[in-house]
Structure 1
Amino acid sequence: MSLLVSAAFAALLALPSFSEKIPITLDIVNAFGAPDGFNRSMVTANGTYPGPLITATKGDTLVVTVNNLLDDSSMRLSTSLDFDGLWVNTPDAFNEGSSFVTTCPIAPNASYTYTVPLVDNQTGTFWYHSQLSVQYVDGLRGALIVYDPDDPLKDLYDVDDENTIWQVGDWWHNSTLPMLAGYVATGIVPVSDSGTFNGVGRYNGGPEVPFFVVNVVQGTRYRFRIINTSARNVFTMSIDSHNMTIIETDGTATSPMTVNSIDMLAGQRHSVVVEANQPVANYWINAPYVGGSPARNLNQNATLSRAILRYAGAPEEDPSSPMSLGPADEDLNALVEANLRPLVAAPAPEADINVTLNLVVTAGKAQWNVNNVSYLAPEVPTLLKILDGANSTDDFNVTENTFVFPPNKIVQVIFPPSEDDEEHPFHLHGNNFWLIKSNSSEELNTENPIKRDVAGVGSTGTIMRFSTANPGPWFFHCHIFWHLQAGLATVMASGLDETRKEVHPTQAWNDLCPAYEALPPELQ
């Protein structure tokens, strides 16, 4: 099958629905494509990279049917889908999509329907991707937007539609199975060949694939929703001669903050308002990235990671200005994460429980530890163990690194400063957290901290708090998926009795594990 560049199909899925239930069908297929000019077999949703845009309106329910039609044995043949950033209430925990935490993967030639109510008036910018091993590195990722007809910040922008979504991501020419084997053998995380902007990129010595073009009209204000769909890379976003006003962070409405450069870790999202207030011309959208030494992959040239902001009336050509990495130091007004504030100020609740998580890598090995434990996915999903009677940490394997908390408590997670030179984007599934201390600052903020679901953990230390008022087993892991695969993960399980009372899986969910376990290894 060939990769379909199907803007029309994506737009169809993006049309607003007047139904409370949004039916979506994703055929997970292998398709050949060349996002950066290098042709390879990929794992895709409906044959496209990125996958089809999914949209909904506040209060809707997503009904996503996944048909696993994968047949290329050079990559994983089973699959599982996660809806990154969406809150999942306890009764729906079995549809959360985390392989071996809340579900088993979907076997080849099988189907499963995820029913995900959009709860608590949640709106904002999200995405979906495979949650099986490092499979989304092979292409299974796409945007998911929940619109708010009553957006309190809508007077700041004029346009917010399927054409104002920016998905940046790292891209590899090799498939994941040999890269993962190389990582296990050497402990060296694979370095991407390129970066893509809405599925388009370039690499050193490769063909000059036309840059993605973002069309604007002079005098119009645009809400651009930026999603870092990487499995490793940190992207630095900027637009020549234009400022960006941040109004959303990981689904949280943000007190407007104007900057000209934003660092985005894997899994993070921001909405920014950009006013097309410059002379009619073409301008570079800069999206350079870092993620491992370029010396380990000579294809990599972060300067080639970019797109074009084209004003109506400008010639159809590349900007005349040089390709830069963003604003010069003397002009830099970069986002400092610690300065983000929610639109509606509210204090963080006091912590009832404190947990310290120390992250350590085993030298020379593809092994990461959290409190001296390297996470290893169990054969029986965590949720199934809870439903079968697990009551305490002792009822889980040590390598499941499962923390058990009572319901209706506030847990404070402390990541001490790390000597590791890489910032780890820790992501909480099914919920979000108050960011009490950002890795970007020494400041402690309990008065009006931002709430988000991905935050960096690194050299200065990070502190976050989350509530256990939503019982269930929720994956909490590094969104550098190579590190996750090497053990940099935990499960935050709360209210086990309440989970048993409220979670009633369907027969289709019950059938997933026996079907997957019956597969020979090459089909898993």
Structure 2
Amino acid sequence: MAETIFNFMLSFSSVPRGCYWPEQASISQARKAMDRVKLSPSPVLLEDNIDFRVKRVQYQMVITINGRTPGPTILAQQGDTIIVELKNSLFVENVAIHWHGIRQIGTPWSDGTAGVTQCPILPGETFTYKFVVDKAGTYLYHGHYGMQRTDGLYGSIQVSVPDGITEPFAYDYDQSIILTDWYHKSSTEQAIGLSSKPFGWIGEPQSLLIQGRGTFNCSTLNSLAIVPGLCNTSNPECSPYVLTVVPGKVYRLRISSLTSLSAFNFEIEGHNMTVVESDGNYVEPFIIKNLNIYSGETYSVLVKADQDSSRNYWATSNVVSRKPQTPTGLAIFNYYQNDPQKLPPTMPTTGPLWNDSDYRLAQSIAIKARQGYIHPPPRSSDRVIILLNTQNQIDGYLHWAVNNVSFTLPSTPYLIALKDKLGYGKGKFDPNNDPKKYNLIDPIMKNTVPVHPYAWTALRFRANNPGVWAFHCHIEAHLFMGMGVVFEEGVNKVGKLPLSITGCGKSKVYYRP
């Protein structure tokens, strides 16, 4: 166990919106352009094994951590104390960072949810997050003020097992991959549309990103008033993200989704994936061809590099649950000693039908806790809470609501003011009969779960972590417009609150020095 300090400086940076390939340009045309790129390969998976300086593309301001998005991956060991010194160097925007999946036992004020557990961090201020990572697994961090996650404020957390402990599966290399969607409109522009009359929906994303990189459909060029001449296939520095693998080795890919809107299906051409972990909990292994993943979820899959090593393969992300209007997200699964920028000789995979909800539901049901790592839920509940998500109109403004209440953040954070996934089903939830279908034997513990279209999801948890906890939809626009609730749990048992989380609302008065 150790204390590890990370220095995060948030700033606005100008980064490319994507590599623009014309709609009429075929993969073969793009392949010819990529064939001219000659770079040194790496024998292992490295986030920064290739330095790209993208030119002649559309740029926009995004929020970066230490000048990059995604932000740096936090590497820690179970039991470590993480200290993050966060400097807000944004010009006019407040900020907060949520440590997604970290239980924050004893430190609810470090959960990083503005308005719930802390006051937002003002421009120019420095804030310290300090917490213990008590479970090994795959986690995330992301902005939790307004819709800042959409602007690139996110990253990965990898927590390894303690020394002397062996995980129940073997692998040679370990890599985090974040899947996101990307809008040309900033989060501020999107928020204005969502809160206006008439209502302005954010629409479909312009790109799907794999580890921060993607392409854009140039057929929409005119409507976006992009500078002429930026749409081309000849730029050698426009290329997909590259995952370099050594033949015969097994790779643990920690795949996470932090999309603003989209649900994804992720696939590596010609390779099966074995699911072994989700949201920090070991899963009874099962083999899949492609992975359905929703915003806020994390999965570890094992992939063996056992195919023809004389060529590269596509890794793709495709939109599901909504009719796709965005080009496929592309990465290259590169076998070592091949040119890492050599495009595969095949067309990218398209995944399952976008509207096949039965296929997605079947995968959700297939996820069970691994034998030897089962934490059976309580056999019964002391209290049953049924939450219904709806869309309402108030004075001409559109809002999302939970049980007919649209959630709004208070000026004084709730923490200051107040001092187990069981099953899925289709159709309307029947409280008399559906509980009989609950899996009380080996359900997987999760911090994020999907609610499938016209369906329900049942969870059960033990209230054993005093604090105030946000429970909300992880689609940015839905939360922004009110689809969330807060659980208040034994706040009287929370220790003395640090002064650093105060300074807004009534806490200006209550916590004067």
TM-score range, shorter chain: 0.7 to 0.9
Report the Cα distance in structure 2 between the residues aligned to 1:471 and 1:272, rounded to whole angstroms.
Answer: 33
Report the Cα distance in structure 2 between the residues aligned to 1:338 and 1:321, rounded to whole angstroms.
Answer: 32
1:127-167 per-position Cα deviation (integer Å, ceiling 9, x unaligned): 1111001011111111111111456445431212xxx2111
Task: Determine if the alignment matches structure 1 residue 167 to structure 2 residue 194.
Answer: no
Report the Cα distance in structure 1 between the residues aligned to 2:336 and 2:303, rounded to whole angstroms.
Answer: 15
Question: Residue 70 of structure 1 aligns with which residue?
Answer: 90
Report the Cα distance in structure 1 between the residues aligned to 2:287 and 2:212, rounded to whole angstroms.
Answer: 27
Report the Cα distance in structure 1 between the residues aligned to 2:298 and 2:208, rounded to whole angstroms.
Answer: 17
Task: Determine if the alignment matches structure 1 residue 320 to structure 2 residue 340.
Answer: no
1:326-363 per-position Cα deviation (integer Å, ceiling 9, x unaligned): 3699xx99761111111223421121110111111126
Question: Residue 502 of structure 2 aligns with which residue?
Answer: 510
1:48-107 per-position Cα deviation (integer Å, ceiling 9, x unaligned): 011111111110011001100002x5xxx1100100011111x31111111110001000
TM-score of the superposed pair, with normalisation by structure 1: 0.78
Report the Cα distance in structure 2 between the residues aligned to 1:476 and 1:456, rounded to whole angstroms.
Answer: 13
Question: Residue 398 of structure 2 aligns with which residue?
Answer: 366
Q: Which amino acid aligns with 1:507?
A: L
Task: Determine if the alignment matches structure 1 residue 447 to structure 2 residue 441.
Answer: yes
Q: Which amino acid aligns with 2:267?
A: S
Q: Which amino acid aligns with 1:495?
A: G
Question: Residue 28 of structure 1 aligns with which residue?
Answer: 10
Q: Which amino acid aligns with 2:280?
A: G
The match for 1:240 among 269, 287, 302 is: 269
CA shift for structure 1 position 487:
0.4
Report the Cα distance in structure 1 between the residues aligned to 2:154 and 2:336, rounded to whole angstroms.
Answer: 30
Whether the 8 Å contact between 1:57 and 1:146 is mirrored in structure 2 is: yes
Whether the 8 Å contact between 2:73 and 2:155 is mirrored in structure 1 is: yes
The structure with the larger Rg is 2
Question: Residue 367 of structure 2 aligns with which residue?
Answer: 340
The match for 2:319 among 265, 285, 289 is: 289
Question: Residue 39 of structure 2 aligns with which residue?
Answer: none
Closer, same or farther: CA 366–51 of 1 in aligned 2, 3 Å: farther
Report the Cα distance in structure 1 between the residues aligned to 2:302 and 2:116, rounded to whole angstroms.
Answer: 37
Report the Cα distance in structure 1 between the residues aligned to 2:492 and 2:87, rounded to whole angstroms.
Answer: 33
CA shift for structure 1 position 293:
5.6
Report the Cα distance in structure 1 between the residues aligned to 2:296 and 2:181, rounded to whole angstroms.
Answer: 12
Report the Cα distance in structure 2 between the residues aligned to 1:445 and 1:318, rounded to whole angstroms.
Answer: 44
Report the Cα distance in structure 2 between the residues aligned to 1:381 and 1:346, rounded to whole angstroms.
Answer: 33
Task: Determine if the alignment matches structure 1 residue 158 to structure 2 residue 202.
Answer: no
Whether the 8 Å contact between 1:250 and 1:270 is mirrored in structure 2 is: yes
Question: Residue 226 of structure 1 aligns with which residue?
Answer: 255
Q: Secondary structure at the match of 1:182?
A: helix
CA shift for structure 1 position 513:
6.0
The match for 2:326 among 301, 305, 326 is: 301
Task: Determine if the alignment matches structure 1 residue 376 to structure 2 residue 411.
Answer: no
Question: Residue 222 of structure 2 aligns with which residue?
Answer: none
Q: Secondary structure at the match of 2:189?
A: helix
Structure 1 gap ranges (5+) = 1-18, 295-299, 388-433, 518-524
Report the Cα distance in structure 2 between the residues aligned to 1:157 and 1:348, rounded to whole angstroms.
Answer: 30
Closer, same or farther: CA 507–100 of 1 in aligned 2, 3 Å: same
Whether the 8 Å contact between 1:35 and 1:196 is mirrored in structure 2 is: no
Closer, same or farther: CA 61–516 of 1 in aligned 2, 3 Å: same
Whether the 8 Å contact between 2:502 and 2:508 is mirrored in structure 1 is: no
CA shift for structure 1 position 46:
1.0
Question: Residue 41 of structure 1 aligns with which residue?
Answer: 61
CA shift for structure 1 position 318:
0.4
The match for 1:134 among 126, 140, 147 is: 147
Whether the 8 Å contact between 1:105 and 1:516 is mirrored in structure 2 is: no
CA shift for structure 1 position 473:
0.8
Task: Determine if the alignment matches structure 1 residue 275 to structure 2 residue 304.
Answer: yes
CA shift for structure 1 position 438:
2.4
Question: Residue 436 of structure 1 aligns with which residue?
Answer: 422
Question: Residue 310 of structure 1 aligns with which residue?
Answer: 334
The match for 1:82 among 91, 98, 109 is: 98
Report the Cα distance in structure 1 between the residues aligned to 2:81 and 2:398, rounded to whole angstroms.
Answer: 39
CA shift for structure 1 position 291:
7.3
Q: Secondary structure at the match of 1:457?
A: coil
1:197-253 per-position Cα deviation (integer Å, ceiling 9, x unaligned): 111000102555300110001110000000101121111011111100001011111
The match for 1:212 among 241, 252, 273 is: 241
**What's the Cα RMSD here?**
2.5
Q: Which amino acid aligns with 1:147?
A: S
The match for 2:121 among 103, 106, 116 is: 106
1:288-319 per-position Cα deviation (integer Å, ceiling 9, x unaligned): 1247666xxxxx5332x121101112244100
- State the aligned residue count: 433
Whether the 8 Å contact between 2:96 and 2:114 is mirrored in structure 1 is: yes
Q: Secondary structure at the match of 2:306?
A: coil
Whether the 8 Å contact between 1:168 and 1:229 is mirrored in structure 2 is: yes
**Please, which moves more after superposition, 106-115 or 452-461?**
452-461
Report the Cα distance in structure 2 between the residues aligned to 1:176 and 1:222, rounded to whole angstroms.
Answer: 35
CA shift for structure 1 position 460:
2.2
Whether the 8 Å contact between 2:84 and 2:130 is mirrored in structure 1 is: yes
Report the Cα distance in structure 1 between the residues aligned to 2:485 and 2:66, rounded to whole angstroms.
Answer: 32
Structure 2 gap ranges (5+) = 20-57, 219-230, 428-433
**Please, which moves more after superposition, 60-69 or 180-189?**
180-189
The match for 1:94 among 82, 87, 109 is: 109
The match for 2:477 among 475, 482, 487 is: 482
Closer, same or farther: CA 333–352 of 1 in aligned 2, 3 Å: closer
Report the Cα distance in structure 2 between the residues aligned to 1:114 and 1:512, rounded to whole angstroms.
Answer: 18
1:25-47 per-position Cα deviation (integer Å, ceiling 9, x unaligned): 10010000015143101111111
TM-score of the superposed pair, with normalisation by structure 2: 0.80
Question: Residue 406 of structure 1 aligns with which residue?
Answer: none
Question: Residue 12 of structure 1 aligns with which residue?
Answer: none
Closer, same or farther: CA 171–244 of 1 in aligned 2, 3 Å: same
Whether the 8 Å contact between 2:411 and 2:504 is mirrored in structure 1 is: no
Report the Cα distance in structure 2 between the residues aligned to 1:192 and 1:182, rounded to whole angstroms.
Answer: 15
Task: Determine if the alignment matches structure 1 residue 456 to structure 2 residue 450.
Answer: yes
Q: Which amino acid aligns with 2:369?
A: P
Whether the 8 Å contact between 1:187 and 1:365 is mirrored in structure 2 is: no
Alignment of 1:376-455 (within 5 A): 376-387=408-419, 434-439=420-425, 443-455=437-449
